[in-house]
């Protein structure tokens, strides 16, 4: 099983700032098949980024993904108030697994 | 627009079987996508349980495989989850979701709202 480790656990930032979230895999993610989700309290996760860097339908361009192999990054260029949430990475190159999440808080 | 809705008992006794159904509307379950179950213990992260295709092909999380069965009912446009021998550790919000394509090794593009199932006597 590929274990995904997300860091930091919590990121304290202000609106307008840049957020950089890390997702590190215990082994190389085949095909760079890695996705990012956003989850707000009481809601289901929402797909943000697919295949490392492809934004899902309707996702604003302040969200971007990058990386390869074992190291992946989600960047939010300028935080909007609605971006404060928990973010999860998921790999689907070898079976399926999720990271433990990063909370972005004010 | 596809909508997914989980239903089933919210309280299950230890050692018994948890059963949930996901009703899909606005989209045919036979359209070629895979459909999955994911759970989230209170205050914790996400765990994939397993996925199914309308043909009946299934894939399961190895850590749960001995206790999980996922099935599909194309006539009702539904798929279901059975988890046997539950313990308190199985208390979680259970989500059903649609994969992004006709393979199970994909992301989850559409999610149900989730349902909290508590295991307690």
Residue B102: pLDDT over 90: no
Structure confidence at residue A74 (pLDDT): 98
Distance (Å, rounded) from C-alpha A6 to C-alpha B26?
35
Task: Find the closest chain A residue to B39 by CA distance.
Answer: A44
Residue B117: pLDDT over 90: yes
Chain B residues within 8 A of A1 when measuring between CB atoms: 62-63
Distance (Å, rounded) from C-alpha A19 to C-alpha A14?
9
Residue B51: pLDDT over 90: yes
The pair of structure tokens assigned to B52 is 């199914």
CB contacts < 8 A, A to B, total: 54
A47-72 burial, b at 16+ Cβ within 10 Å, e below that, comes to bbbbebbebbeebeeebbbebeebeb
Residue A59 in contact with partner chain B when CB distance is under 8 A: no
pLDDT in tens, A32-63: 999 999 999 999 999 999 999 999 999 999 99
pLDDT in tens, A60-83: 999 999 999 999 999 999 999 999
Chain A residues within 8 A of B47 when measuring between CB atoms: 98
Q: How confident is the model at residue B28 (pLDDT cuts 50, 70, 90)?
A: very high
Residue B80: pLDDT over 90: yes
- Put simply, the answer to whether B95 touches A44 (Cβ < 8 Å) is yes
Residue B3: pLDDT over 90: yes
Q: How confident is the model at residue B105 (pLDDT cuts 50, 70, 90)?
A: confident
Q: How confident is the model at residue B9 (pLDDT cuts 50, 70, 90)?
A: very high
Distance (Å, rounded) from C-alpha A6 to C-alpha A39?
15
Distance (Å, rounded) from C-alpha A77 to C-alpha B13?
47
Q: How confident is the model at residue B44 (pLDDT cuts 50, 70, 90)?
A: very high
Residue A14 in contact with partner chain B when CB distance is under 8 A: no
Average pLDDT of the segment spanning B28-35: 93
- Put simply, the answer to whether B46 touches A92 (Cβ < 8 Å) is no
Which of A9, A44, A102 to mutate to test binding with chain B, by most B CBs within 10 Å of its CB? A44
CA A94 to each of CA A22, B36, B69: distance values in angstroms, whole numbers, following the listed order:
20, 16, 21
Distance (Å, rounded) from C-alpha B106 to C-alpha B53?
13
């Amino acid at each position: 099983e590929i274990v995904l480790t997300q860091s930091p656990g919590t990121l304290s930032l202000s609106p307008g700032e840049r957020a950089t979230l890390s997702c590190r895999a215990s082994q190389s993610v085949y095909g760079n098949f890695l996705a990012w989700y956003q989850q707000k309290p009481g809601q289901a996760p929402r797909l943000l980024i697919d295949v490392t860097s492809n934004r899902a339908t309707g996702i604003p361009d302040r969200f971007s993904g990058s990386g390869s192999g074992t190291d992946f990054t989600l960047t939010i260029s300028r935080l909007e108030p609605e971006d404060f949430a928990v973010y999860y990475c998921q790999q689907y190159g070898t079976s399926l697994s999720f990271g433990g999440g990063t909370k972005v808080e004010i | 627009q596809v909508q997914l809705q989980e239903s089933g008992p919210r309280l299950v006794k230890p050692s018994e079987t948890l059963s949930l159904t996901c009703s899909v509307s606005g989209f045919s379950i036979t359209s070629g996508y895979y459909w999955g179950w994911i759970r989230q213990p209170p205050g914790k992260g996400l765990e994939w349980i397993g996925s199914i295709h309308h043909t009946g092909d299934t894939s399961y999380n190895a850590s749960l495989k001995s206790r999980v069965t996922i099935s599909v009912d194309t006539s009702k446009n539904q798929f279901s989850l059975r988890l046997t021998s539950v313990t308190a550790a199985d208390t979680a919000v259970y989500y059903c979701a649609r994969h992004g394509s006709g393979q199970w090794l994909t992301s989850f593009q559409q999610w149900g709202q989730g349902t909290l199932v508590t295991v307690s006597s």
